[in-house]
Chains A and B, each alone.
Chain A
Amino acid sequence: MADCCSGGTKLLYSCSGSADVGKLADLVTRKLRDDGYARMTCLAGIGADISGFVVSARGADENITVDGCPQACARKSLERIGVAPLSIVLSDMGYEKGKTPVTDELVRTVAVKIMAGETVKTRPVNTGSACGCGGNC
């Protein structure tokens, strides 16, 4: 549901890649949404340059990406539109691509770690916008 006037809008994106860690990223992101951590939206809408998704990312107070592997496709997709998200990469948490069977328990465990702040969040240097505002202007 679209936020109205409440401020503090946090949008959440998953890479949802084809590997096990991509699947884990997807399910963890949905779990985070269901638990009220942030509002999930569509990374594909960003990639497809759908104006509503792009403008929403630029207008959000915080954008958070959950990627499975170091390719960080979700983070880079946001950077391409001039937005510097908080980036969570599951491989940085020790979940290795191709060696991470996805279970309900693992999804819960990873989601709890993220909500508890027990993970590395990085904010890349934004190079995508001319003014350097992070897309918030």
Chain B
Amino acid sequence: MKLEILGTGCPKCTKLEEVTRKAAGELGIDAEISKVKEIDKIMGYGVMITPALVVDGVVKVAGKVPSVDEIKKMISK
């Protein structure tokens, strides 16, 4: 599974990465987690608000940091 954290490096972006790593860890998912900071790449997803979480190419959330449990649901489907 490929998880991408979209954001330019703000505190919320860092928080989203933290909770995403925690969610993947608790689920025991072997995920490739990467950060995307380049605005052009972020806009390429059509994302207008960051932070955002992309799961296997699909944007799941933008503009807020979900809870660990919410992210678990997003990445376990």
Contact = CB atoms under 8 A, between A and B. Distances in A.
Interface of A: 1-5, 9, 11, 39, 41-42, 45, 50-56, 58-60
Given A52-B59, A59-B62, 11 more contacts: A2-B39, A2-B47, A3-B48, A3-B49, A4-B51, A5-B10, A5-B13, A51-B46, A52-B46, A52-B48, A55-B62
B46 A59 contact: no
Interface of B: 6-8, 10-13, 39, 42-43, 45-52, 58-64
Nearest to B64: A59
Contacts of B12: 4-5
B8 A42 contact: no
B46 A60 contact: no
A39 to B, nearest CB: 6
B48 A41 contact: yes
A5 B9 CA distance: 10
Contacts of B42: 2
Q: Which one of B12, B45, B51, B64 has the greatest number of beta carbons of chain A within 10 Å?
A: B45
B47 A55 contact: yes
8 contacts: A2-B6, A3-B63, A4-B7, A4-B49, A5-B10, A5-B12, A55-B60, A60-B63
Nearest to A1: B39
